[in-house]
Structure 1
Amino acid sequence: MSYDNACKYLAERFPADFTRWLLGIEATRVRVLKTELDLEPIRADSVSFLRVGDRILHLEFETDPYSNPPIPFRMLDYSVRLKRKYRRDVEQFVIFLQESSNEIAFTTEYRDRTTTHRYNVIRLWEEDPAIFLDNPGLLPLAVLARSDSPQALLEQVAERVDRIENSDRRQGVAACTGILAGLRFDRDLIRSILRADFMRESVIYQDILQEGRQEGKKEEALLLVTRQLEWKFGEITPVLLEKIRSLSIQDLENLGVDLLGFSELADLEAWLG
Protein backbone atom coordinates (compact mmCIF):
# COMPACT_ATOMS: atom_id res chain seq x y z
CA MET A 1 0.00 0.00 0.00
CA SER A 2 1.22 3.52 -0.74
CA TYR A 3 1.03 5.01 2.74
CA ASP A 4 3.07 8.11 1.97
CA ASN A 5 0.98 8.84 -1.14
CA ALA A 6 -2.13 8.81 1.04
CA CYS A 7 -0.47 11.36 3.34
CA LYS A 8 0.62 13.46 0.38
CA TYR A 9 -2.98 13.49 -0.87
CA LEU A 10 -4.21 14.67 2.55
CA ALA A 11 -1.58 17.40 2.90
CA GLU A 12 -2.32 18.80 -0.55
CA ARG A 13 -6.13 18.55 -0.30
CA PHE A 14 -6.36 19.83 3.29
CA PRO A 15 -3.37 22.18 3.66
CA ALA A 16 -5.09 24.46 6.20
CA ASP A 17 -5.58 21.49 8.57
CA PHE A 18 -1.87 20.69 8.41
CA THR A 19 -0.75 24.28 8.96
CA ARG A 20 -3.13 24.53 11.93
CA TRP A 21 -1.64 21.36 13.42
CA LEU A 22 2.04 21.92 12.71
CA LEU A 23 2.42 25.69 12.78
CA GLY A 24 -0.42 26.56 15.15
CA ILE A 25 -1.83 29.21 12.82
CA GLU A 26 -5.08 29.74 10.93
CA ALA A 27 -3.85 30.26 7.40
CA THR A 28 -6.33 32.00 5.11
CA ARG A 29 -4.30 31.16 2.03
CA VAL A 30 -2.06 28.14 1.55
CA ARG A 31 -0.51 27.38 -1.82
CA VAL A 32 0.57 23.85 -2.73
CA LEU A 33 3.94 23.93 -4.47
CA LYS A 34 4.58 21.21 -6.99
CA THR A 35 7.95 19.59 -6.45
CA GLU A 36 9.99 20.93 -9.33
CA LEU A 37 13.25 21.75 -7.61
CA ASP A 38 16.52 22.42 -9.36
CA LEU A 39 18.77 19.44 -10.00
CA GLU A 40 17.41 15.91 -9.87
CA PRO A 41 14.69 15.15 -7.28
CA ILE A 42 15.62 13.37 -4.08
CA ARG A 43 12.46 11.45 -3.46
CA ALA A 44 9.59 13.62 -4.62
CA ASP A 45 6.90 10.96 -4.15
CA SER A 46 6.84 11.24 -0.36
CA VAL A 47 7.04 14.99 0.22
CA SER A 48 4.68 17.95 0.10
CA PHE A 49 5.62 21.62 -0.04
CA LEU A 50 3.12 24.24 1.11
CA ARG A 51 3.64 28.00 0.89
CA VAL A 52 2.16 29.66 3.97
CA GLY A 53 2.62 33.41 4.01
CA ASP A 54 6.33 34.14 3.98
CA ARG A 55 7.49 30.57 4.64
CA ILE A 56 7.56 27.15 3.06
CA LEU A 57 6.20 24.17 4.98
CA HIS A 58 8.02 21.02 3.93
CA LEU A 59 6.36 17.76 4.98
CA GLU A 60 7.97 14.35 4.60
CA PHE A 61 6.10 11.19 5.55
CA GLU A 62 8.01 8.05 6.45
CA THR A 63 7.17 4.47 7.37
CA ASP A 64 10.80 3.30 7.42
CA PRO A 65 13.55 5.42 9.04
CA TYR A 66 16.17 3.90 6.72
CA SER A 67 16.87 5.66 3.43
CA ASN A 68 19.71 6.44 1.08
CA PRO A 69 20.77 9.19 1.48
CA PRO A 70 19.85 9.29 5.18
CA ILE A 71 16.87 11.41 6.24
CA PRO A 72 18.93 14.08 8.12
CA PHE A 73 21.04 14.78 5.04
CA ARG A 74 17.94 14.82 2.83
CA MET A 75 16.35 17.46 5.05
CA LEU A 76 19.45 19.66 4.77
CA ASP A 77 19.51 19.19 0.99
CA TYR A 78 15.82 20.02 0.57
CA SER A 79 16.10 23.07 2.82
CA VAL A 80 18.93 24.53 0.76
CA ARG A 81 17.14 23.87 -2.51
CA LEU A 82 13.86 25.38 -1.28
CA LYS A 83 15.56 28.50 0.06
CA ARG A 84 17.45 28.96 -3.17
CA LYS A 85 14.31 28.59 -5.29
CA TYR A 86 11.74 30.49 -3.20
CA ARG A 87 13.85 32.82 -1.02
CA ARG A 88 11.69 32.00 2.01
CA ASP A 89 12.20 30.51 5.47
CA VAL A 90 11.59 26.76 5.48
CA GLU A 91 9.81 24.84 8.25
CA GLN A 92 10.48 21.11 7.96
CA PHE A 93 8.62 18.20 9.52
CA VAL A 94 9.44 14.51 9.19
CA ILE A 95 6.32 12.59 10.21
CA PHE A 96 6.96 8.95 11.10
CA LEU A 97 3.84 6.88 10.62
CA GLN A 98 4.83 3.52 12.06
CA GLU A 99 6.29 2.95 15.52
CA SER A 100 10.05 2.42 15.47
CA SER A 101 12.94 2.42 17.93
CA ASN A 102 15.43 3.36 15.19
CA GLU A 103 17.55 6.33 16.27
CA ILE A 104 16.69 8.20 13.06
CA ALA A 105 13.09 8.49 14.30
CA PHE A 106 14.48 10.38 17.30
CA THR A 107 17.00 12.50 15.39
CA THR A 108 16.18 16.15 14.71
CA GLU A 109 19.34 17.46 13.08
CA TYR A 110 22.01 16.87 10.51
CA ARG A 111 25.51 17.50 11.77
CA ASP A 112 28.98 17.24 10.28
CA ARG A 113 32.27 18.99 11.03
CA THR A 114 31.17 22.36 9.62
CA THR A 115 27.36 22.23 9.38
CA THR A 116 24.39 21.83 11.70
CA HIS A 117 20.86 21.76 10.32
CA ARG A 118 17.76 21.29 12.49
CA TYR A 119 14.30 20.08 11.56
CA ASN A 120 11.18 18.83 13.35
CA VAL A 121 10.23 15.20 13.92
CA ILE A 122 6.79 13.88 14.78
CA ARG A 123 6.22 10.28 15.83
CA LEU A 124 2.53 9.69 15.32
CA TRP A 125 2.34 6.89 17.89
CA GLU A 126 3.17 9.48 20.58
CA GLU A 127 0.61 12.09 19.45
CA ASP A 128 -2.70 12.83 21.18
CA PRO A 129 -5.44 11.92 18.66
CA ALA A 130 -7.70 14.82 19.73
CA ILE A 131 -6.44 17.36 17.20
CA PHE A 132 -6.73 14.82 14.38
CA LEU A 133 -10.32 14.02 15.28
CA ASP A 134 -11.30 17.69 15.06
CA ASN A 135 -9.93 18.23 11.54
CA PRO A 136 -11.26 16.26 8.54
CA GLY A 137 -7.94 16.32 6.68
CA LEU A 138 -6.14 14.82 9.68
CA LEU A 139 -8.72 12.15 10.54
CA PRO A 140 -6.83 9.31 8.79
CA LEU A 141 -3.72 10.07 10.87
CA ALA A 142 -5.72 9.57 14.08
CA VAL A 143 -5.74 5.80 13.58
CA LEU A 144 -1.96 5.81 14.17
CA ALA A 145 -2.00 8.12 17.21
CA ARG A 146 -1.52 7.26 20.89
CA SER A 147 -4.31 5.16 22.37
CA ASP A 148 -4.92 2.61 25.11
CA SER A 149 -7.65 1.12 22.91
CA PRO A 150 -6.63 1.36 19.22
CA GLN A 151 -9.75 -0.45 17.98
CA ALA A 152 -12.03 1.98 19.82
CA LEU A 153 -10.04 4.83 18.25
CA LEU A 154 -10.52 3.32 14.78
CA GLU A 155 -14.26 3.08 15.45
CA GLN A 156 -14.30 6.73 16.56
CA VAL A 157 -12.49 7.79 13.38
CA ALA A 158 -14.92 5.80 11.23
CA GLU A 159 -17.85 7.53 12.94
CA ARG A 160 -16.30 10.97 12.30
CA VAL A 161 -15.61 10.09 8.65
CA ASP A 162 -19.24 9.04 8.23
CA ARG A 163 -20.32 12.53 9.35
CA ILE A 164 -18.52 14.33 6.51
CA GLU A 165 -21.30 15.77 4.35
CA ASN A 166 -19.48 16.24 1.04
CA SER A 167 -19.45 12.80 -0.60
CA ASP A 168 -16.22 13.28 -2.59
CA ARG A 169 -14.42 14.53 0.50
CA ARG A 170 -15.87 11.71 2.59
CA GLN A 171 -14.72 9.07 0.10
CA GLY A 172 -11.22 10.54 -0.10
CA VAL A 173 -10.82 10.70 3.67
CA ALA A 174 -12.26 7.19 4.07
CA ALA A 175 -9.85 5.82 1.44
CA CYS A 176 -6.83 7.35 3.19
CA THR A 177 -8.09 6.11 6.56
CA GLY A 178 -8.33 2.58 5.23
CA ILE A 179 -4.84 2.73 3.74
CA LEU A 180 -3.14 4.17 6.84
CA ALA A 181 -5.05 1.85 9.17
CA GLY A 182 -3.25 -0.98 7.41
CA LEU A 183 -0.10 -0.01 9.30
CA ARG A 184 -1.76 -0.90 12.59
CA PHE A 185 -4.76 -3.16 12.06
CA ASP A 186 -5.74 -6.42 10.40
CA ARG A 187 -7.41 -5.96 7.02
CA ASP A 188 -10.59 -7.80 8.04
CA LEU A 189 -10.97 -5.57 11.10
CA ILE A 190 -10.58 -2.46 8.95
CA ARG A 191 -13.25 -3.67 6.56
CA SER A 192 -15.61 -4.49 9.40
CA ILE A 193 -15.35 -1.00 10.88
CA LEU A 194 -14.92 1.28 7.87
CA ARG A 195 -17.54 1.43 5.18
CA ALA A 196 -15.87 -0.53 2.41
CA ASP A 197 -18.08 1.02 -0.25
CA PHE A 198 -16.51 4.44 0.42
CA MET A 199 -13.09 3.02 -0.38
CA ARG A 200 -14.06 0.83 -3.32
CA GLU A 201 -15.94 3.62 -5.08
CA SER A 202 -13.38 6.32 -4.35
CA VAL A 203 -11.40 7.43 -7.38
CA ILE A 204 -8.76 8.65 -4.91
CA TYR A 205 -8.41 5.14 -3.47
CA GLN A 206 -7.81 3.67 -6.92
CA ASP A 207 -5.34 6.44 -7.80
CA ILE A 208 -3.35 5.90 -4.61
CA LEU A 209 -3.27 2.14 -5.16
CA GLN A 210 -2.11 2.63 -8.75
CA GLU A 211 0.65 5.00 -7.64
CA GLY A 212 1.70 2.43 -5.06
CA ARG A 213 1.89 -0.32 -7.67
CA GLN A 214 4.00 1.90 -9.94
CA GLU A 215 6.35 2.74 -7.07
CA GLY A 216 6.68 -0.96 -6.27
CA LYS A 217 7.70 -1.69 -9.86
CA LYS A 218 10.20 1.16 -9.79
CA GLU A 219 11.74 -0.03 -6.51
CA GLU A 220 12.16 -3.52 -7.97
CA ALA A 221 13.83 -2.14 -11.09
CA LEU A 222 16.02 0.19 -9.01
CA LEU A 223 17.13 -2.65 -6.72
CA LEU A 224 18.02 -4.87 -9.68
CA VAL A 225 20.04 -2.14 -11.43
CA THR A 226 21.96 -1.06 -8.31
CA ARG A 227 22.84 -4.66 -7.46
CA GLN A 228 24.13 -5.22 -10.98
CA LEU A 229 26.22 -2.04 -10.82
CA GLU A 230 27.65 -2.86 -7.37
CA TRP A 231 28.57 -6.35 -8.55
CA LYS A 232 30.29 -4.86 -11.61
CA PHE A 233 31.97 -1.78 -10.13
CA GLY A 234 31.74 -2.00 -6.34
CA GLU A 235 30.17 0.76 -4.24
CA ILE A 236 28.34 3.46 -6.22
CA THR A 237 28.68 7.09 -5.08
CA PRO A 238 25.64 8.84 -3.54
CA VAL A 239 25.60 11.36 -6.42
CA LEU A 240 25.29 8.60 -9.02
CA LEU A 241 22.71 6.75 -6.90
CA GLU A 242 20.54 9.86 -6.77
CA LYS A 243 20.72 10.24 -10.55
CA ILE A 244 19.74 6.59 -10.94
CA ARG A 245 16.86 6.95 -8.46
CA SER A 246 15.46 9.88 -10.46
CA LEU A 247 15.11 7.72 -13.60
CA SER A 248 11.74 6.53 -14.82
CA ILE A 249 10.87 2.82 -14.81
CA GLN A 250 11.50 2.66 -18.57
CA ASP A 251 14.92 4.33 -18.20
CA LEU A 252 15.85 1.94 -15.37
CA GLU A 253 14.95 -1.01 -17.58
CA ASN A 254 17.04 0.44 -20.41
CA LEU A 255 19.96 0.99 -18.05
CA GLY A 256 19.65 -2.61 -16.84
CA VAL A 257 20.30 -3.75 -20.41
CA ASP A 258 22.88 -1.14 -21.41
CA LEU A 259 25.06 -1.59 -18.32
CA LEU A 260 25.95 -5.10 -19.53
CA GLY A 261 28.18 -3.36 -22.05
CA PHE A 262 29.83 -0.98 -19.54
CA SER A 263 33.52 -1.63 -18.93
CA GLU A 264 34.19 1.15 -16.41
CA LEU A 265 32.33 3.55 -14.15
CA ALA A 266 32.86 6.36 -16.66
CA ASP A 267 30.48 4.53 -19.01
CA LEU A 268 27.74 4.79 -16.38
CA GLU A 269 28.48 8.50 -15.81
CA ALA A 270 28.32 9.14 -19.56
CA TRP A 271 25.03 7.23 -19.86
CA LEU A 272 23.47 9.23 -17.03
CA GLY A 273 24.78 12.45 -18.51
Structure 2
Amino acid sequence: MSFDTTCRRLTEIFPEDFASWLLGYRVPLTELSPTELSIEPIRADRVILLQGQNEIVHIEFQTDPKDDVPMRLADYRLRLHRRFPNKTIHQVVIYLRETNSERVYQNYFEIAGMYAEFNVIRIWEVPAEELMTFPGLLPFVGLSRSNNPIQTLRRAVREIQRIEDESQQHEAMAATYVLSGLKFEAAVLSQVIRRDIMRESVTYQLILEEGREEGREQGLEQGLEQGQRLEAIALTTRQLTRRLRQELSEEMRSRLSTLPLPILENLSEALLDFTELSDLENWLAAHNPAQ
Protein backbone atom coordinates (compact mmCIF):
# COMPACT_ATOMS: atom_id res chain seq x y z
CA MET A 1 0.00 0.00 0.00
CA SER A 2 2.99 2.35 0.44
CA PHE A 3 3.25 2.63 -3.36
CA ASP A 4 -0.30 4.04 -3.53
CA THR A 5 0.51 6.53 -0.78
CA THR A 6 3.75 7.57 -2.45
CA CYS A 7 2.27 8.12 -5.91
CA ARG A 8 -0.71 10.02 -4.56
CA ARG A 9 1.59 12.28 -2.57
CA LEU A 10 3.66 13.08 -5.66
CA THR A 11 0.59 14.10 -7.66
CA GLU A 12 -0.48 16.36 -4.80
CA ILE A 13 2.90 18.12 -4.67
CA PHE A 14 3.72 18.24 -8.41
CA PRO A 15 0.35 18.29 -10.24
CA GLU A 16 1.58 20.52 -13.07
CA ASP A 17 4.53 18.20 -13.78
CA PHE A 18 2.15 15.29 -14.24
CA ALA A 19 -0.11 17.42 -16.43
CA SER A 20 2.78 18.49 -18.65
CA TRP A 21 3.97 14.91 -19.04
CA LEU A 22 0.61 13.25 -19.60
CA LEU A 23 -1.18 15.99 -21.56
CA GLY A 24 1.73 17.54 -23.39
CA TYR A 25 0.97 21.03 -22.09
CA ARG A 26 1.19 22.82 -18.76
CA VAL A 27 -2.09 23.51 -17.02
CA PRO A 28 -2.97 24.25 -13.37
CA LEU A 29 -4.64 21.24 -11.78
CA THR A 30 -6.21 20.76 -8.38
CA GLU A 31 -7.12 17.55 -6.61
CA LEU A 32 -10.64 16.25 -7.07
CA SER A 33 -11.94 13.93 -4.38
CA PRO A 34 -13.62 10.72 -5.61
CA THR A 35 -16.36 11.42 -3.06
CA GLU A 36 -17.49 14.31 -5.27
CA LEU A 37 -18.80 11.77 -7.77
CA SER A 38 -22.47 10.91 -7.54
CA ILE A 39 -21.86 7.23 -6.77
CA GLU A 40 -19.61 5.74 -4.12
CA PRO A 41 -16.19 4.96 -5.71
CA ILE A 42 -14.98 1.38 -6.06
CA ARG A 43 -11.55 2.00 -4.50
CA ALA A 44 -11.13 5.66 -3.58
CA ASP A 45 -7.70 5.03 -2.08
CA ARG A 46 -6.30 4.03 -5.48
CA VAL A 47 -7.93 6.75 -7.57
CA ILE A 48 -6.10 10.00 -8.34
CA LEU A 49 -8.27 12.69 -9.91
CA LEU A 50 -6.98 16.11 -10.94
CA GLN A 51 -9.09 18.80 -12.54
CA GLY A 52 -8.40 21.94 -14.54
CA GLN A 53 -10.75 24.48 -16.03
CA ASN A 54 -11.50 22.34 -19.06
CA GLU A 55 -10.17 18.88 -18.23
CA ILE A 56 -10.17 16.02 -15.77
CA VAL A 57 -7.09 13.81 -15.42
CA HIS A 58 -7.72 10.38 -13.93
CA ILE A 59 -4.52 8.51 -13.02
CA GLU A 60 -4.22 5.00 -11.64
CA PHE A 61 -0.83 3.65 -10.61
CA GLN A 62 -0.63 -0.13 -10.65
CA THR A 63 2.26 -2.14 -9.26
CA ASP A 64 1.03 -5.26 -11.04
CA PRO A 65 -1.77 -5.79 -13.59
CA LYS A 66 -5.25 -6.75 -12.39
CA ASP A 67 -8.24 -8.09 -14.29
CA ASP A 68 -10.63 -5.38 -13.10
CA VAL A 69 -8.59 -2.36 -14.26
CA PRO A 70 -10.29 -1.84 -17.66
CA MET A 71 -13.79 -2.06 -16.19
CA ARG A 72 -12.85 0.31 -13.37
CA LEU A 73 -11.57 2.89 -15.85
CA ALA A 74 -14.77 2.63 -17.91
CA ASP A 75 -16.87 2.94 -14.77
CA TYR A 76 -15.06 6.10 -13.69
CA ARG A 77 -15.32 7.63 -17.15
CA LEU A 78 -19.10 7.40 -16.94
CA ARG A 79 -19.18 8.79 -13.41
CA LEU A 80 -16.88 11.66 -14.32
CA HIS A 81 -18.88 12.49 -17.44
CA ARG A 82 -22.10 12.51 -15.44
CA ARG A 83 -20.58 14.94 -12.92
CA PHE A 84 -18.59 17.08 -15.40
CA PRO A 85 -20.28 16.73 -18.82
CA ASN A 86 -18.43 19.69 -20.37
CA LYS A 87 -14.90 18.69 -19.42
CA THR A 88 -12.51 16.54 -21.44
CA ILE A 89 -11.58 13.38 -19.54
CA HIS A 90 -8.05 11.98 -19.77
CA GLN A 91 -7.49 8.55 -18.25
CA VAL A 92 -4.17 6.77 -17.86
CA VAL A 93 -2.96 3.65 -16.10
CA ILE A 94 0.73 3.69 -15.17
CA TYR A 95 2.25 0.28 -14.52
CA LEU A 96 5.28 0.40 -12.25
CA ARG A 97 6.78 -3.09 -12.12
CA GLU A 98 8.08 -4.68 -15.31
CA THR A 99 6.18 -7.76 -16.39
CA ASN A 100 5.52 -9.87 -19.47
CA SER A 101 1.81 -10.02 -18.74
CA GLU A 102 -0.40 -9.15 -21.70
CA ARG A 103 -2.71 -7.24 -19.37
CA VAL A 104 -0.38 -4.24 -19.29
CA TYR A 105 -1.02 -3.74 -23.01
CA GLN A 106 -4.80 -3.61 -22.77
CA ASN A 107 -6.06 -0.04 -23.19
CA TYR A 108 -9.79 -0.55 -23.59
CA PHE A 109 -12.90 -2.00 -22.00
CA GLU A 110 -15.49 -3.64 -24.21
CA ILE A 111 -18.82 -5.34 -23.69
CA ALA A 112 -21.81 -5.67 -25.98
CA GLY A 113 -22.88 -2.15 -26.90
CA MET A 114 -20.08 -0.35 -25.03
CA TYR A 115 -16.46 0.46 -25.79
CA ALA A 116 -14.15 2.75 -23.78
CA GLU A 117 -10.44 3.51 -24.26
CA PHE A 118 -7.77 4.77 -21.89
CA ASN A 119 -4.03 5.35 -22.10
CA VAL A 120 -1.47 2.93 -20.72
CA ILE A 121 2.11 3.74 -19.70
CA ARG A 122 4.59 1.00 -18.87
CA ILE A 123 7.14 2.97 -16.90
CA TRP A 124 10.00 0.58 -17.73
CA GLU A 125 9.60 1.51 -21.41
CA VAL A 126 9.79 5.27 -20.80
CA PRO A 127 13.27 6.74 -21.49
CA ALA A 128 14.88 8.07 -18.33
CA GLU A 129 15.66 11.38 -20.04
CA GLU A 130 11.95 12.00 -20.58
CA LEU A 131 11.28 11.81 -16.85
CA MET A 132 14.37 13.85 -15.95
CA THR A 133 12.66 16.89 -17.44
CA PHE A 134 10.18 17.18 -14.56
CA PRO A 135 11.15 17.36 -10.85
CA GLY A 136 7.93 15.59 -9.86
CA LEU A 137 8.76 12.60 -12.07
CA LEU A 138 12.33 12.09 -10.84
CA PRO A 139 11.20 9.45 -8.29
CA PHE A 140 10.16 7.22 -11.23
CA VAL A 141 13.52 7.43 -13.02
CA GLY A 142 14.88 4.34 -11.28
CA LEU A 143 12.09 2.29 -12.89
CA SER A 144 12.52 3.74 -16.37
CA ARG A 145 14.46 2.57 -19.43
CA SER A 146 18.20 3.02 -19.08
CA ASN A 147 21.42 1.32 -20.17
CA ASN A 148 22.88 1.78 -16.69
CA PRO A 149 20.04 1.74 -14.12
CA ILE A 150 22.16 2.39 -11.02
CA GLN A 151 24.03 5.33 -12.54
CA THR A 152 20.75 6.71 -13.84
CA LEU A 153 19.26 6.45 -10.35
CA ARG A 154 22.27 8.33 -8.97
CA ARG A 155 21.67 11.08 -11.53
CA ALA A 156 18.04 11.34 -10.46
CA VAL A 157 19.09 11.65 -6.81
CA ARG A 158 21.52 14.45 -7.70
CA GLU A 159 18.75 16.26 -9.56
CA ILE A 160 16.44 15.90 -6.56
CA GLN A 161 19.12 17.43 -4.34
CA ARG A 162 18.98 20.51 -6.60
CA ILE A 163 15.28 21.11 -5.90
CA GLU A 164 15.25 24.45 -4.10
CA ASP A 165 12.16 23.85 -1.99
CA GLU A 166 13.49 21.74 0.89
CA SER A 167 10.12 20.17 1.66
CA GLN A 168 9.64 19.11 -1.97
CA GLN A 169 13.20 17.79 -2.06
CA HIS A 170 12.57 15.58 0.97
CA GLU A 171 9.28 14.31 -0.43
CA ALA A 172 10.86 13.47 -3.79
CA MET A 173 13.76 11.68 -2.11
CA ALA A 174 11.44 9.57 0.04
CA ALA A 175 9.33 8.69 -3.00
CA THR A 176 12.45 7.72 -4.95
CA TYR A 177 13.50 5.33 -2.21
CA VAL A 178 10.07 3.70 -2.02
CA LEU A 179 9.42 3.36 -5.75
CA SER A 180 12.94 2.24 -6.63
CA GLY A 181 12.44 -0.63 -4.21
CA LEU A 182 10.36 -2.27 -6.93
CA LYS A 183 13.58 -2.78 -8.92
CA PHE A 184 16.61 -2.48 -6.63
CA GLU A 185 17.67 -4.31 -3.48
CA ALA A 186 17.61 -2.38 -0.20
CA ALA A 187 21.41 -2.56 0.09
CA VAL A 188 21.79 -0.80 -3.26
CA LEU A 189 19.29 1.91 -2.36
CA SER A 190 21.04 2.55 0.94
CA GLN A 191 24.24 3.27 -0.97
CA VAL A 192 22.53 5.75 -3.29
CA ILE A 193 19.92 7.47 -1.10
CA ARG A 194 20.49 8.92 2.33
CA ARG A 195 17.62 8.11 4.66
CA ASP A 196 18.22 11.13 6.87
CA ILE A 197 17.38 13.50 3.99
CA MET A 198 13.92 12.03 3.53
CA ARG A 199 13.14 11.44 7.20
CA GLU A 200 11.18 14.68 7.63
CA SER A 201 8.97 14.12 4.59
CA VAL A 202 5.24 13.53 4.94
CA THR A 203 5.59 10.54 2.61
CA TYR A 204 8.12 8.90 4.91
CA GLN A 205 5.98 9.52 7.99
CA LEU A 206 2.86 8.18 6.27
CA ILE A 207 4.68 5.00 5.30
CA LEU A 208 5.98 4.58 8.84
CA GLU A 209 2.43 4.97 10.10
CA GLU A 210 1.22 2.41 7.57
CA GLY A 211 3.88 0.05 8.86
CA ARG A 212 2.62 0.58 12.38
CA GLU A 213 -0.98 0.03 11.27
CA GLU A 214 -0.02 -3.19 9.51
CA GLY A 215 1.90 -4.11 12.61
CA ARG A 216 -1.23 -3.70 14.70
CA GLU A 217 -3.04 -6.04 12.37
CA GLN A 218 -0.25 -8.61 12.29
CA GLY A 219 1.10 -8.01 15.77
CA LEU A 220 1.59 -4.60 17.37
CA GLU A 221 5.07 -5.27 18.68
CA GLN A 222 6.50 -6.22 15.28
CA GLY A 223 5.06 -3.17 13.55
CA LEU A 224 6.33 -0.73 16.15
CA GLU A 225 9.79 -2.29 16.15
CA GLN A 226 10.10 -1.79 12.40
CA GLY A 227 9.12 1.86 12.72
CA GLN A 228 11.54 2.33 15.61
CA ARG A 229 14.35 0.66 13.68
CA LEU A 230 13.99 3.08 10.77
CA GLU A 231 14.06 6.00 13.20
CA ALA A 232 17.12 4.55 14.96
CA ILE A 233 19.03 4.16 11.67
CA ALA A 234 18.46 7.81 10.77
CA LEU A 235 19.35 9.06 14.26
CA THR A 236 22.50 6.95 14.59
CA THR A 237 23.71 8.02 11.15
CA ARG A 238 23.36 11.69 12.07
CA GLN A 239 25.10 11.17 15.41
CA LEU A 240 28.04 9.38 13.79
CA THR A 241 28.42 12.08 11.15
CA ARG A 242 28.63 14.76 13.82
CA ARG A 243 30.82 12.75 16.17
CA LEU A 244 33.37 11.73 13.52
CA ARG A 245 33.08 15.07 11.70
CA GLN A 246 32.82 13.44 8.30
CA GLU A 247 30.19 12.03 6.00
CA LEU A 248 29.87 8.26 6.17
CA SER A 249 30.65 6.31 3.03
CA GLU A 250 27.83 4.69 1.09
CA GLU A 251 29.19 1.29 2.11
CA MET A 252 29.05 2.22 5.79
CA ARG A 253 25.51 3.60 5.44
CA SER A 254 24.51 0.32 3.83
CA ARG A 255 25.99 -1.64 6.74
CA LEU A 256 24.16 0.49 9.28
CA SER A 257 20.86 0.01 7.45
CA THR A 258 21.02 -3.76 8.05
CA LEU A 259 21.59 -3.58 11.82
CA PRO A 260 18.79 -4.86 14.08
CA LEU A 261 17.26 -2.45 16.57
CA PRO A 262 19.06 -3.71 19.73
CA ILE A 263 22.49 -3.26 18.10
CA LEU A 264 21.52 0.20 16.84
CA GLU A 265 20.51 1.20 20.36
CA ASN A 266 23.84 -0.03 21.76
CA LEU A 267 25.74 1.77 19.01
CA SER A 268 23.98 5.06 19.76
CA GLU A 269 25.52 4.92 23.25
CA ALA A 270 28.92 3.55 22.29
CA LEU A 271 29.56 6.16 19.59
CA LEU A 272 29.90 8.85 22.27
CA ASP A 273 33.39 7.46 22.89
CA PHE A 274 34.39 7.30 19.20
CA THR A 275 37.03 9.70 17.92
CA GLU A 276 37.77 8.28 14.47
CA LEU A 277 36.25 6.01 11.85
CA SER A 278 38.32 3.02 12.93
CA ASP A 279 36.50 3.07 16.28
CA LEU A 280 33.25 2.48 14.44
CA GLU A 281 34.79 -0.25 12.28
CA ASN A 282 36.17 -2.06 15.33
CA TRP A 283 32.89 -1.76 17.22
CA LEU A 284 30.89 -3.22 14.34
CA ALA A 285 33.37 -6.08 13.94
CA ALA A 286 33.03 -6.92 17.64
CA HIS A 287 29.27 -6.51 18.02
CA ASN A 288 27.94 -7.53 14.61
CA PRO A 289 30.45 -10.05 13.21
CA ALA A 290 27.88 -11.39 10.73
CA GLN A 291 28.66 -8.40 8.51
TM-score, reference length from structure 1: 0.74
Which residue of structure 2 aligns with residue 108 of structure 1?
Answer: 107
Helix, strand or coil at the partner of 2:48? strand
Inter-partner Cα distance in structure 2 for 1:77 and 1:217: 34
Helix, strand or coil at the partner of 2:49? strand
Inter-partner Cα distance in structure 1 for 2:99 and 2:178: 19
Which of the numbers 83, 86, 94 marks the counterpart of 1:85? Answer: 83
Of all paired residues, the percent bearing the same amino acid is 40
AA partner of residue 80 (structure 1): L
Which residue of structure 2 aligns with residue 35 of structure 1?
Answer: 34
Inter-partner Cα distance in structure 2 for 1:117 and 1:215: 37
TM-score, reference length from structure 2: 0.70
Inter-partner Cα distance in structure 1 for 2:81 and 2:137: 27
- How has the CA–CA distance of structure 1 residues 90 and 212 changed in structure 2, closer, same or farther, with 3 Å as cutoff? farther
Which residue of structure 1 aligns with residue 138 of structure 2?
Answer: 139
Which residue of structure 2 aligns with residue 95 of structure 1?
Answer: 94
Helix, strand or coil at the partner of 2:34? coil
Helix, strand or coil at the partner of 2:99? coil
AA partner of residue 206 (structure 1): Q
Contact 1:5 1:211 in 2 (8 A): no
Which residue of structure 1 aligns with residue 119 of structure 2?
Answer: 120
Inter-partner Cα distance in structure 2 for 1:50 and 1:212: 28
1:104-125 CA distance string (max 9 Å, x none): 2000000112111000000000
1:121-140 CA distance string (max 9 Å, x none): 00000001112112111110
Displacement of 1:32: 1.3
* Greater mean deviation of Cα atoms: 156-165 or 173-182: 156-165
Choose 1 or 2 for highest CA Rg: 2
Contact 1:140 1:176 in 2 (8 A): yes
Which residue of structure 1 aligns with residue 24 of structure 2?
Answer: 24
AA partner of residue 121 (structure 1): V
Which structure has more relative contact order (CA 8 Å, sep 6+)? It is 1
Aligned-pair RMSD on alpha carbons?
2.0
1:172-203 CA distance string (max 9 Å, x none): 00000000010010111111111211122323
- How has the CA–CA distance of structure 1 residues 216 and 51 changed in structure 2, closer, same or farther, with 3 Å as cutoff? farther
Contact 1:49 1:58 in 2 (8 A): yes
AA partner of residue 73 (structure 1): M
Structure 2, gaps ≥5 residues long: 218-291
Which residue of structure 2 aligns with residue 10 of structure 1?
Answer: 10
Displacement of 1:215: 7.4
- How has the CA–CA distance of structure 1 residues 51 and 216 changed in structure 2, closer, same or farther, with 3 Å as cutoff? farther
